[in-house]
Structures are given as C-alpha cells and as structure tokens.
Amino acid sequence: MPGTGRTVYPMVSTTIEERPAGIFAPRYRALTVGTVALITLAAFEYLAVATAMPVVAAELNGHALYGLAFSGALAAGVVATVLGGRWGDLAGPVAPLWTGSGVFAVGLILAGVAPTMDVFIAGRFVQGFGAGMLQVAMYVLVSRVYPAELHPRVFSIFATAWVVPSMVGPAITGVVVESVGWRWVFYGVAVILLPAALLLWRGLASAPMSEQPPVPARASIAWRLGWALLVAVGAALMQYGASLMQYGGATRGAGLVLVAVGLAVLAAALPRLLPTGTLRAARGLPSVISLRGIAAGAVIGGEAFLPLMLRDERGLSLTMAGLVLTGGALSWSFGSWVVGRRRFERVPLLRFGMLLITVGLVMMGLTVFAAVPIAAAFAGEIVLGLGMGVVYPTLSVLVLELSPPGQEGENSASLGVAESVYTVVSVAVAGALLAALGTLGAVYLLCFALVALLAASGTLVAGRVRT
C-alpha cells in the first residue's frame, strides 16, 4: 500500500464451501438406519403375506375371504396416506410417524393371534392403515431434516429398502411358515420393529429439523378423507372383483360387476383427491404424480402375470418362474444407487427410465412365443428393474422440489394414492382379461401389450414434469 512502507497483499479467503454431510454422517446416521429399517419391515410384511396367505386361509377356513386380506389393507392404506400427509403438513412428521408405527405394530399382533379369518382381515386392515401413515410421514420427515442436496440419496436408499425384501422375503417366509408356523411371520416383524423404533427415536433426537412452515388454507381434512374413502372402496372393489373372476361360473359374473362398479367409483372420486390435472398429466406436479402411477401400474401389471405365463406357456415351475423377478430386484437397487450418486437432468433421466421399462415389458411379453428363449424374460426383467430404479427415486425427489412449503405431506400422499390406484386398475384389467378370455398365449400377449403401451405413454408424460 503506497505510503506505508510495507506491502499488503489482497486477502484471500481460505474458507472452502462445506459440502453437505452424507446421509450416514453422525447427525443423520441413526435416523437413516431407523427409517430404512422401518421401510424394510413394512415391505417384508407386504410380501410375506402373499407367501403365507394360502396356509393362513387353509388354517382359518377363509378361502372365501382370501381377496379381502389384500384389498382391505389397500383401502386402509389409501385413507391413512391422505390423513397422514395432511397431519404431517399441519403438525410435522413426528406425530404421524409414531402413530403409524404403533398402529402397524398393533395390526401385526392382531393378525398373529387371529382365531378366525374375520379377525385376521381386521389385523390386515390395521396394518395397512399404519403402513400408509408411516410411509407418507417419511416424505415429510425427509423434507424437514435432510438438505435438498441429499434427497436423491435418501430416496435411493429408501428404494433399496423395498427391493431387498422382494429378494429374500418369500424364502424367509417359507422357512418360518414350515418350521414354526405362519403366526410367527407377524410376531417376528413386530419384535424386530422395536429396535428399529429405538433407532428412529435416537435419530429424531440427534438430527436437526427445520421449523414448521406456515400451512396454507386448504380444503378441510374431512372433505379429503371422504373422497379418500370412496377411492379406497373403488380400488378394493376392483381388486376383489378381479380375484373373484378367476373362479368362473356365477362368481365370474359377480366379479365382473364389482370391477365395473369399482372403476366407476374411481372415475368419480379420484380426480377430487389428486391435484388438478393429474389424470390428464398437466405440466409440473400433476405430471410427476401421474407418472408415478403409470410406472407402478405398468411394472406391477406386467410382473403380476409373468410367472403364470412362464408356467402355462413355457412349462417352468412357479419357483423357477418366480426367480425371474430376482434379477429385476437387483437392477432396481442398482439403478436407485446410480441416480443417488450424482445429479442428472430430470426430464431425460425419466424418459430414459420409462423407455427401459417399456423395452423390458416387450421382452418379457415376447417370451410367450416358443421361438424366443426364456432368457429374454430374465433380461427383460433386469431392464425393467433398472428403469424403475431410475424413475422411482427421481419422482420422489421431484414431488418435494415442486411442493410449496407446508404441502409436502399432502402432495406425497397424492403420490402414494396414484401409485396404489393405477396399480390396482392395471392388475384388475389384466386379470379380468385372463379370466374372461382364458390363459392363452394370445391373451397373455395382449396383457403385456397393454402395460407396455402404458409405460410408453410415460415417456411422453416425463417431458411435462417441469413447468
């Protein structure tokens, strides 16, 4: 500096911009492990029921109520998702999180001690309600605790928490049912729930949570719950009706009527429950929610009948046919891991994911022809799973990005409702076609063509997720 007799160098800041801590950093570690453990348990219970249900129905003499064990839990989950989402917006995620966990545990115990099929179905209803509230509260929790930079990694590991039980759940359930009985499937999950809840409690105490933002005036919760109840009833009717159609005779006619009535109820109630423009994929948040439903409906609609098709048309045992789905679980987990490691442009990523799902469904459907090697079904499932691994966590991140403060829970609830309803409609329509036209190669091909077209439409909707 002139006139001072000394040289002064410009000050250079040595502060390096701090990168956000990872999801397993000390402040988040217990919370991350606790939430992943709860999601894993909910996923395991969902898959375990499907494996154990034949034994449960035989012991409790409840074959006539078989479908209600699934549709009842679904209906309760839809209502709980709407209630938990709005509750989380108003009061924060902690109350609905603990309430959902407690109700889920009560449902597990009730199903485990059930002396009759009626009590078992009541337990399944309570489980569905608790799981629905628990899962939507997780979204609000992520928005309040983790910085936005970490959301892709959080939802990536959440997706993996759903995938892992699909790989090992049926085998573990089979061992438990054969060795100590089906009741211990539910008792075991309830016991493991305790340490998971303890980790969650420690995590909530150590992780900083942002202040509750002001919640805008919205329609009353009673109004939304009324529409949610109608949506739940419509979805349950479609699911139960499709299961009845498999028995033939007068039962098939009754099932077809239930499917039609359920579809009519959904057509009237669903638009009232989702953001305006969701069913026509309006730009922005409505397209995000619609795309989640499209992806779920296409994938689960295809996977639901792949083992049956491979058994009927290609002569595989159900065990071998079910192993095809394992490759999809692994690639789903890998895809989720990849999108959680770095930031991608969302629209091209979603289009790519939906294209992978479409290609995977086409490959799976073509194995109905004897000239196509069965390996194509395995490869198609891997491609499809990779697409889901790309799409699912990306949509979860987007729904929080596009939600105004105080509406994360309500919009996350809409995401869950769309996923459930689109899936029920897809599976019910495919099941109705198979029941009405027969389990023939051409009918299987038609079912796969429909879900592949649904997935292909998602590549167009993906371009509308940004306003």
3-state secondary structure of 4: coil
- Which residue, chain included where needed, has tokens 């649904």? 454
Q: Of 177, 207, 237, which one is at a domain's C-terminal end? A: 207
Lowest-pLDDT range, 90-94, 217-221, 313-317?
Answer: 217-221
| Whether residues 310 and 249 fall in one domain | no
| Domain count across the chain | 3
| Whether residues 296 and 379 fall in one domain | yes
Residue 7 covered by a domain: no
Residue 4 covered by a domain: no
Residue 352 binned pLDDT confidence (cut-offs 50, 70, 90): very high
| Whether residues 368 and 243 fall in one domain | no
Residue 212 covered by a domain: no
- The pTM for the full model equals 0.84
| Whether residues 324 and 230 fall in one domain | no
- The tens digit of pLDDT for each residue in 403-434 reads 888 888 889 999 999 998 999 899 888 888 88
Residue 214 covered by a domain: no
| Whether residues 225 and 141 fall in one domain | no
Lowest-pLDDT range, 268-282, 325-339, 362-376?
Answer: 325-339
Mean pLDDT of the 389-407 span: 91
| Whether residues 345 and 466 fall in one domain | yes
Percent of the chain with pLDDT over 90: 40
Residue 87 covered by a domain: yes
358 by Cβ neighbours in 10 Å (0-12 / 13-18 / 19+) ranks as buried
| Whether residues 151 and 263 fall in one domain | no
Torsion sign across C-alpha atoms 417, 445, 67, 42: negative
Residue 15 covered by a domain: no
Mean pLDDT of the 380-396 span: 94
| Whether residues 377 and 301 fall in one domain | yes
Residue 402 confidence (pLDDT) above 50: yes
- The tens digit of pLDDT for each residue in 1-50 reads 444 343 333 433 333 344 556 888 888 888 899 999 888 888 888 777 77
Mean pLDDT is highest, among 13-17, 198-202, 396-400, for: 396-400
Lowest-pLDDT range, 15-24, 260-269, 376-385, 409-418?
Answer: 15-24
| Whether residues 67 and 34 fall in one domain | yes
pLDDT at 136: 92
Question: Of 110, 127, 109, which is closest to residue 45 (Cα–Cα)?
Answer: 127
- The tens digit of pLDDT for each residue in 278-296 reads 999 999 999 999 999 999 9
What single DSSP character describes residue 411? H
- Convert 119-147 to b/e letters by CB count within 10 Å (16 or more is b): ebbbbbbbbbbbbbbbbbbbbbbbbbbbe
Alpha-carbon distance 136 to 150, whole Å? 18
| Whether residues 282 and 337 fall in one domain | yes
Q: Of 228, 250, 273, which one is at a domain's C-terminal end? A: 273
pLDDT at 288: 96
Mean per-residue pLDDT of the chain: 85
Alpha-carbon distance 312 to 318, whole Å? 10
3-state secondary structure of 384: helix
Residue 245 covered by a domain: yes
Contacting residues for 435 by C-beta, under 8 A, at least 6 apart: 242, 245, 246, 248, 252, 255
> Mutual orientation of helices 94-113 and 117-145 as an angle, nearest 10°?
160
Range of the domain at 190: 24-207
CATH code, domain with 331:
1.20.1250.20
List C-alpha distances in Å: 71 to 54, 65, 124, 232, 432: 16, 10, 9, 9, 16
| Whether residues 264 and 361 fall in one domain | no
Q: Of 234, 255, 273, which one is at a domain's C-terminal end? A: 273
Question: Of 234, 238, 226, which is closest to residue 265 (Cα–Cα)?
Answer: 234
Torsion-angle region of residue 216: left (phi > 0), alpha (psi -120 to 50) or beta? beta
- The tens digit of pLDDT for each residue in 48-91 reads 777 788 788 888 887 767 767 777 888 888 999 999 998 988 88
pLDDT at 405: 83
| Whether residues 304 and 260 fall in one domain | no
Residue 129 covered by a domain: yes
Mean pLDDT is highest, among 5-19, 245-259, 445-459, for: 445-459
Mean pLDDT of the 120-134 span: 92
